[in-house]
Amino acid sequence: MIIGRRVAAVLCGTLAALMTGALAAPAAAEPVRETDPPKVNFVLDVSGSMAERDIDGDTRMNAAKRAFNDVIDFIPEGVHFGIRTLGADYPGDDRLGRGCVDSSQLYPVGPVDRTEAKTAVATLAPTGWTPIGYALQGAVRDLGDGDGMRRIVLITDGEDSCGDPEPCEVARELAAAGIGLTIDTLGLTPADSAVREQLGCIAEATGGTYTAVQDTDQLADRLKQIVERTAEVRVETPTVVDGADECADAPLLGAGVYSDRQEFGEHRRYRVQVAPGRELRASVSVAADRPMNRDHGVLLRLLAEDGRELVRGSTAGHGRTDVIATGLRHPSDADSEETLCLEVSHAFSAPDDVQRTPGMPVELTVDLVAAADTPSDVAAFGLARGWIPLLVLTLTGLAAGILWGLIRRVLA
């Protein structure tokens, strides 16, 4: 009898949930497009300088091994993971010959076998030179093609020791190729300006981030953050656009995802046509791909053809951040199609020694949905409001109560 009553209670709860859910989510969910699994490829410096003992009283190599073991245990299911080394095999003096092509795949990109991956890392010992540019080219090949998230994470304690191919040029070529690849860099050398400049350039070219690491825990935590972001981000390859200084000259965008670059103090503008009965939903994110001052913000404004501000979205913060984003919504109440202007600005600033160009990576998402999908009784975050939801909730409770009474009579 107790089991029967529990079943009845579940049925009533299910009815209420279904009716309430219909109110809170008026639009049917769109089917999720299948993509390739997210992939992350760690590129680890195993050059001779990794034998220096200046991280937690131990060598840089051992600090990296401990961090790697921690991260390998953390990798989520479904993320494909690999490791490539640079400077791990050739200990000789032929730098320009053998030393500058000393990079190999230690663990292939794919579903992770934690024991095998840790065993592979355990075999490493500081050995050779630092062919960063050559290793990045190999890391791209390791990842292969696909439409899922693809990320390279470079962990090194020094500059490239070869110069051909030059690492920053390699990163810029990858960004220009539009292959949807991000490179994050982590530097193990304390306060080395040359290393910081090169690693920052590599990261900013692809919209990645640069982090200077001081100890093992910081290295492990940062690697986990990057892996977690790789797992969470759904990828739609952005279309590269060039925003304008004035709305009249701005590119016309349809629904989709777009990427641009924006320098400090610059405003970027884009036009969108919104038909009657449609709602514009737009969001923008700006990536802090180089060392920044602590205070920051981003503003997205929607302007009418006469320059009036219709709606805005903004956010701000302080301290370390990788990406800052905001968004807005605007249902059209015009009688005919109108051309509106999206204006993007940000309040990032940087120390004087930080490179200003190219501008910071901007990603803009534009969606146009039927206004019927967003009734006025549903707030922006899906919470019901107004007298209609109250009436529906009341009727839901009444129906659930009647059903519960009938079931109790049957079970009595």
Tokens of 172: 């810029």
- pLDDT one digit per residue (tens) for the chain, 412 residues: 444 444 444 444 444 444 444 434 443 334 444 568 899 999 999 999 999 998 989 999 999 999 999 999 999 988 999 999 999 999 999 999 999 999 999 999 999 999 999 999 999 999 999 999 999 999 999 999 877 788 999 999 989 999 899 998 898 888 767 677 889 999 987 657 888 889 988 987 787 888 888 899 999 999 998 898 788 765 566 889 999 999 999 999 998 889 999 988 899 999 999 998 888 988 888 887 777 888 888 999 999 989 999 999 888 877 666 677 788 889 888 888 999 999 999 988 888 888 888 888 898 989 887 764 433 333 232 333 344 444 444 455 556 556 556 655 555 5
Identity (one letter) of the amino acid at 358? P
Q: How far apart are CA 365 and CA 388, in angstroms?
A: 32
Q: What pLDDT, on the 0 to 100 scale, is given for residue 40?
A: 95
By CB atoms closer than 10 A (0-12, 13-18, 19+), residue 162 is: buried
CATH number at 39-232: 3.40.50.410
Identity (one letter) of the amino acid at 310? L
CATH number at 239-373: 2.60.120.380
Q: Which DSSP symbol is given to 384?
A: B
Phi, psi for 363 (deg, rounded to 5): -120, 125
Domain residue limits, the chain: 2-26+377-411, 39-232, 239-373
Q: Which of 57, 53, 43, 110 is nearest to 81 (CA)?
A: 110
β-strand pairing of 181-187 with 150-156: parallel
Q: Which DSSP symbol is given to 359?
A: P
Enumerate the β-bridge partners of residue 82: 41
Would you tell me the crossing angle of helices 114-122 and 60-74 to the nearest 10 degrees? 180
Q: Do domains 39-232 and 239-373 have the same CATH topology?
A: no
Q: Which of 361, 104, 89 is nearest to 241 (CA)?
A: 361
SS3 347: coil
Phi, psi for 383 (deg, rounded to 5): -95, 135
- How crowded is the C-beta side of 290, counted as CA atoms within 13 Å? 25
Q: What global pTM score does this model have?
A: 0.56
Q: How far apart are CA 133 and CA 214, in angstroms?
A: 24
